[in-house]
Structure 1
């Protein structure tokens, strides 16, 4: 009887509260065509509006939700804002235990970016240097661990790269944009090994 009661409680919770794995992508839903979805400074309606989302906006990245599962922290190129999850429809969750794709990683000082695409291809970019194409050779998670840490190996024409991605809040140190993944990338080949540190997002 207790198990049945617990099941009924879970079914009664909002979808966002049942699946707390974030970051995740959402689409705006239930907003009139001539209206917008407000982004607020905090997860309550009395917080000031600091931005908006179009009524047909897609691929909105929510990096975390509040404790009650009613508001999501939206990551935007220019910063952040809280949106009501009543007007955001979550896209299908990524398969548990796999690294989400596409995934866009970057770092500062030095500036670099790594794009990981669903087809197994990737691109490493650095200012003043030609883009380096890479091909995924393996990805997975540590044995016996929950799906919050992921590893990926990539081959390049003259070397290789190994990335460790951790599902955790991350800051680029320069902007107000929140990230839901931290990353370390070890580059090997050609010159001396280099270790890059940065953050990753599900949307550009």
Structure 2
């Protein structure tokens, strides 16, 4: 009887962990993102740092925060920049990189200064 109770307790304790497990589609670091015209890039590292190049000569490294959508595992928001003023949305959907024949698994839209940059992301190896 004690063995059954212990197994039931383990099952109950394991269910919350399963419910909150990250989906394989959830955008998460390490990620490499970028786009064309201008050729900009963003790398989100597992060290919590964003490395950004705007394609016009401005480069910086800053901390970033990643927030998963509250109602889907397919979208995440990112905030980064020297004053955490840059925002981006990463979505898990196929993306065609114009400077390459390869499709990437994620799209990204970055609100930077007074404009919007769009591009693709892929897991960084």
Counterparts of 1:146-157 in structure 2, within 5 Å, are 146-156=72-82
Tell me whether 1:125 sits opposite 2:47 in the alignment: no
Task: Report the Cα distance in structure 2 between the residues aligned to 1:116 and 1:160, rounded to whole angstroms.
Answer: 16
Question: 1:99 aligns to what SS in structure 2?
Answer: coil
One of 177, 180, 194 as aligned partner of 2:115: 194
Task: Report the Cα distance in structure 1 between the residues aligned to 2:44 and 2:94, rounded to whole angstroms.
Answer: 19
Task: Report the Cα distance in structure 2 between the residues aligned to 1:127 and 1:154, rounded to whole angstroms.
Answer: 17
The aligned residue for residue 112 of structure 1 is 40
Kindly state the Cα deviation for residue 126 of structure 1 after the two structures are TM-superposed.
Answer: 3.5
Q: Which one has more relative contact order, counting CA pairs under 8 Å at least 6 apart? A: 2
CA RMSD of aligned residues (A): 2.2
Kindly state the Cα deviation for residue 203 of structure 1 after the two structures are TM-superposed.
Answer: 3.0
Structure holding more strand per residue:
1
Give the TM-score of the pair, scaled to structure 2.
0.72
Structure holding more helix per residue:
2
Task: Report the Cα distance in structure 2 between the residues aligned to 1:187 and 1:135, rounded to whole angstroms.
Answer: 16
Deviations 1:93-142 (A, max 9, x none): x8338532110000001110001001110111144514211211x32222
Tell me whether 1:100 sits opposite 2:28 in the alignment: yes
Gap regions ≥5 residues in structure 2:
1-20
Kindly state the Cα deviation for residue 172 of structure 1 after the two structures are TM-superposed.
Answer: 1.3
Question: What is the number of residues matched between the two proteins?
Answer: 104
Give the TM-score of the pair, scaled to structure 1.
0.46
Kindly state the Cα deviation for residue 194 of structure 1 after the two structures are TM-superposed.
Answer: 2.0
Gap regions ≥5 residues in structure 1:
1-93
